[in-house]
Homo-oligomer: A and B are copies of this chain.
């Protein structure tokens, strides 16, 4: 059977008996948003059925209008003959789309500000070998070993690829026995002629986020960022969150799918940057990988099943230093790949990187570190102790489980202001105001919207729409944005090319659950160590959407604790910053390992206090109003009802 796709790059693809449209598209490498991994739950993989017979087994989250206009869920539609479809732009995964990424700021300055120095794991020994002669005919490798010994370098391991792929003998002769040997972690990496221009020494820092992948290509001679690149983690095509991916990994070929997907993302970025800067092949000598525990395991192709089964144990926490060839990275095959230690199943290398980059373990100040990404991890501590937990906030702030949710890319509503009867939205990539073209709403937009809706009295402290009892108090321009939808009431934030963008009652409940998980994580952790929130002297906020986050609104929402604004510090993507630090200096690498070894992990899912903290936090801002004095004052001023 044939699946015809109107307006696509591939006009016709095959589809098998019993295969869903989603599965057929995936086989043809056409990827749809499918946050739930194709389980018929998220309602995102919409396609328009134009012609032909198909069995439809579910309509979750589709509106009447959508159903009437022929929209179906690709994962729940099974062609029974040749079928024609159209794929709405909003259903396509924007893999390869440019993502806003911090260029890293003054990274070299950060190294010195933190008292570090350029000391990458890769070292170079300049060696002058004794050329062979009749009567002195020991092998090339013995000459190299002798020169290394004379230079005071401890014995190295010489990987097969070093001798085989480098063409060791050829290089030695071309270089007239005068070479630079690059090595790291006790192992030879490559050989360059010493005279003449060498290819340079480069390294890559890689942040593998559940949603995005960021690569820094760094000149190891001075720590300079040559270029940063980022893209979506194309594992998204197998599901939005780590759990869905772990489940996919247990399926036949699933682990390999997932590994290949993220490798291609990274290699795509590295290849493009290398080409742009005309880097010699093999001159990238090392890499540092930073990601959560599941991402780190999937990158290495390792089994993740035990991560989601009690007692939640990962396969590896301190990763051996493996080789570029083993990783499959576009790297010198003998290059050494370091992986940031993953302390527990849900506190990974990204958090170790973040804590390293924050510097919170370097002094006595009690600090709170929060990484709000696809999940949500928190840490509390100082130079003496450190306790961490994972909040299971879920990927809602990345757009998953939210009707019009999307990531913070072009067209995403990233800020919302409700004032004087008007709703103002800021849209990523667009001019503010009516010129912007909104396609959906991202995490920071959700936080803004819900807190503004609370302040304006559109919703009450339980997150329910107010029109039943207090609707009359709303200005008419606001009230008319409130309407009844399929999933209960909804509030229209803006109108876009594909229709109106609204937050539904279900969306708000999801956002409340996510923010409650984060806040409950923080408060449980703080209580666990016998402190109160007022003891916190610094709050470091990290995460992919840290760039856009309005902290005041997040406090009003009750996601962040109500403590003085001056204690908050934004750090943006600290996973990549920490990976950068570990790349340029062995000192930071050791510090990261010390951080990991000093961490105490608290499993919130079995903590007796967590559930009641969570329940209390399912309120705006919180059932215990004494915890949010500033917000209470504000609400009192606004006259919002309880």
Q: Give A contacts to B, CB under 8 Å.
A: 132-142, 157-161, 163-164, 167-170, 173, 300-303, 305-306, 310-318, 320, 322-323, 326-327, 342, 344-345, 601, 603, 606
Oligomeric state, in number of copies?
A: 2
Q: CB-nearest residue of chain B relative to A345? A: B137
18 A-B pairs whose Cβ atoms sit less than 8 Å apart in the complex: A133-B311, A134-B310, A137-B344, A137-B603, A138-B313, A139-B314, A140-B306, A140-B316, A141-B316, A141-B318, A157-B320, A160-B320, A160-B326, A163-B316, A164-B301, A164-B302, A169-B315, A170-B305
Whether the pair B603, A313 counts as a contact (CB closer than 8 A) is no
Contact partner of A137 (CB less than 8 A), chosen from B136, B320, B323, B601, is: B601
Inter-chain contact A164/B300, CB cutoff 8 Å = yes
Please determine whether A305 and B169 come into contact, CB atoms closer than 8 angstroms: yes
Given contacts A163-B302, A167-B303, A305-B169, contact A317 B141 (CB under 8 A): yes
Contacts of A138 in B (CB 8 A): 313, 317
Closest to A156 in B: B320
Cα distance A301–B157 when bound, in Å? 18
The CA-CA distance from A132 to B603 in the complex, in Å, is: 13
CB atoms of A303 and B169 under 8 A apart: yes
CB A159 to nearest CB in B, in angstroms, measures 8
A594 CB, nearest partner CB in chain B, Å: 16
B313 touches A168 (CB 8 A): no
Which residues of the partner chain B approach A132 to less than 8 Å between Cβ atoms? 311, 313
Neighbour of A140 across the interface among B134, B158, B159, B314, CB < 8 A:
B314
A141 to B296, CA, bound (A): 14
Q: Are A169 and B306 in contact (CB under 8 A)?
A: yes
Residue among B168, B311, B317, B344 making CB contact with A315, cutoff 8 Å? B168
A155 CB to nearest B CB, Å: 10
> What residue of chain B has the Cβ atom nearest to residue A157's Cβ?
B320
Contacts of A313 in B (CB 8 A): 132, 137-140
Bound-complex Cα distance A452 to B142 (A)? 48
Q: A300-B160, A317-B142 are in contact. Are A312 and B137 (CB under 8 A)?
A: yes
Closest CB in chain B relative to A70 CB, distance in Å: 46
From A344, which residue of chain B is reached at the shortest CB distance? B137
A346, closest chain B residue (CB): B137
Cβ–Cβ contact B322 & A160, under 8 A = yes
Inter-subunit contact A134/B606 (CB<8 Å): yes
CB-defined contacts of A169 to chain B, threshold 8 Å: 302-303, 305-306, 315
Q: Which are the 8 A-B pairs with shortest beta-carbon distances? A: A139-B317, A160-B326, A132-B313, A141-B316, A134-B311, A160-B322, A139-B314, A169-B315
| In the bound complex, CA of A41 to CA of B204 (Å) | 55
Assuming the contacts A160-B320, A302-B163, A305-B169, asked whether A315 and B603 have C-beta atoms less than 8 A apart, the reply is no
Question: Is A141 in contact with B603, judged by CB distance below 8 angstroms?
Answer: no
How near does chain B come to A326, taking the closest CB pair, in angstroms?
Answer: 4
Q: Provide the residues of chain B in CB contact with A601, threshold 8 Å.
A: 137
Shortest distance between the CB of A192 and any CB in chain B (Å): 18
CB neighbours (8 Å) of A173 from chain B are 306
- The residue in chain B whose Cβ has the minimal distance to the Cβ of A165 is B301
| Chain B min CB distance to A161 (Å) | 8
Q: Are A134 and B320 in contact (CB under 8 A)?
A: no
Closest CB in chain B relative to A260 CB, distance in Å: 14
Contact across chains for B134 and A315 when beta carbons are under 8 A apart? no
